[in-house]
Structure 1
Amino acid sequence: MPIALDPGQRAELAEHCLLQPATACDPAWSLPAVDLLDPDSCRALLDRLGPVIGSPNRYITASLLAKRLAFLTTGLALYGMSVLDRGLDLALANWRLDYRHQDGLWRSQMPLLDQRASTPQPGAREAWRASVVQTLFAEGLAPLWQSLHQSARVPLPVLWENTAVRVYSLYEKRLTAERHPARQAQIQADFHWLVAQAPAAVFGASHNPLQRFFRPRQPATARPGTRIRKTCCFYYRATDPETYCGTCPLPHARCKRQTA
């Protein structure tokens, strides 16, 4: 049975994962996440958001929105799971899509309607973990990515790699500085399961997308240890002058051609 977060957990998730009550949303810049499953609502949002973020078309707007939503949803669900042993409900019906953007930066947070959480029973954490992950991906992001794909024609591999890089960053950067050393073994075990063992069904996909994009890091780059993406998110198309993500495959490919 779901239980309430204690004040300390709620504060930690608000600080690190931008959790907020759904009632705190600005109605002018948010909507129920399930609304995006309607093609007309989805296209209307993309058309409104495009000029705000400097995007030239729905395709790029959808990709950049997906990056932000992947950051918010996976950060909250997986931080709660791996650090606090709390399983928050990230199914689409339980959150609002906050899309505030100002002065070139996302200002959106992660508003949940029901902020109660599940907890693992003794000896059953693996089954509980699979359930938390399935709610996040199969019941949350997978249908949302399908809608963005259909409404904006952005390829599903781009949307899933946008998601994967957020998960890698969470576990390889943000959680490596986790201040509870006793949690490190659990954090690493969860990450290994996500990228190497989790079945396709928990992602609502035909394969495990986190495993598909988990490439070795590249030592010979401007930023040694960077994992270069397979796909481009098209962030550079919404910047002036053009600015590339640190993991973008385009400048990396050009550099390889010049040194060949």
Structure 2
Amino acid sequence: MPARALLDDEVCEQLLAALGPVIGSPTQAITASLLAKRFSFLSTGACLYAMSVYDKGLILSLDNSVIEYAHEEGLWTSSMPLDDVTPVGYEPGTREAWREVIVGTLFRDLLQPLWETFNRITGISRRILWENTAVRVYSLYDKRMEKVEDPAIRQRYEADFDWLLNQADPALFGLSYNPLKHFRRPPVLLEAEGKSIRFRRTCCFYYDASNPVEYCSTCPLLRPKKCR
């Protein structure tokens, strides 16, 4: 269905009610949280990777994005097709303005209205939904793009990530704050495991929909008490 259709309370509620049993979710609020994680993974992965690695603009808007929510044998199999996949370019010297359009369309125009609807229908915290989005962006730039070897591309995506974290106007997210900056916590060193983890501020409730119970690697419930 078109993403805009989910802004209808009845349509949204019907989707969440149908999806809950499929993913093993006990409540519509948890279903909304986990669906938001999936939407965030698909939308930010496509849009921001295209922007920072390929220097191409994809328009992920309510009217250009198609919602899928397929889930089989405990795994998401959905994608987020676009009606128009024609990339949007920019004239020399205008990349910063172009970047704002791409980012604003993704966060302010697509995700923010969806998260507002999820909050209104289920009561799920907006902060949880936005941190679900933020952690997907962190993973994209910290891990997936880290595999890129071309120095020019690395310089571009590092600059984009710094801008997203530290300079992007809250208005581009349709919020009074920049959620990517807000939820970016410093890493915690786990000496016994020999690694550092950036634990979340909020819990997405994935453990409540998993059987046997599993936790996300950055779940705040796993954060050592002395570091809380």
Could you state the TM-score of these two structures normalised by the residue count of structure 1?
0.85
Correspondence for 2:167: 197
Question: Does residue 1:70 correspond to 2:40, yes or no?
Answer: yes
CA distance in 2, matches of 1:53, 1:196: 36
Equivalent in 193, 198, 219 of residue 227 of structure 1? 198
CA distance in 1, matches of 2:88, 2:69: 27
Equivalent position amino acid for 1:125 in 2? R
Correspondence for 2:131: 161
CA distance in 1, matches of 2:211, 2:103: 37
Deviations 1:106-161 (A, max 9, x none): 00012000111211210111111111100101111000110011111100000000
Gaps of 5+ in 2: none
Equivalent in 74, 84, 87 of residue 104 of structure 1? 74
Question: Does residue 1:187 correspond to 2:152, yes or no?
Answer: no
Correspondence for 2:12: 42
SS at match of 1:198: coil
SS at match of 1:112: coil
Equivalent position amino acid for 1:240 in 2? N
Retained in 2: the 8 A contact 1:85–1:120?
no
SS at match of 1:225: strand
Equivalent position amino acid for 1:167 in 2? V
CA distance in 2, matches of 1:251, 1:202: 32
Shift of 1:81: 0.4
Retained in 2: the 8 A contact 1:142–1:203?
yes
Task: Give the share of equivalent positions with the same residue, in percent.
Answer: 51
Equivalent position amino acid for 2:209 in 1? A
Shift of 1:242: 1.1
Shift of 1:225: 2.1
Could you state the TM-score of these two structures normalised by the residue count of structure 2?
0.96
Retained in 2: the 8 A contact 1:55–1:237?
yes
Shift of 1:208: 0.5
Gaps of 5+ in 1: 1-30
After superposition, the Cα gap between the structure-2 partners of 1:143 and 1:223, relative to the gap in structure 1 and judged at 3 Å, is: farther
Correspondence for 2:220: 249
After superposition, the Cα gap between the structure-2 partners of 1:134 and 1:238, relative to the gap in structure 1 and judged at 3 Å, is: same
Retained in 2: the 8 A contact 1:90–1:135?
yes
Superposed CA RMSD in Å reads 1.5
Correspondence for 1:133: 103
SS at match of 2:78: coil
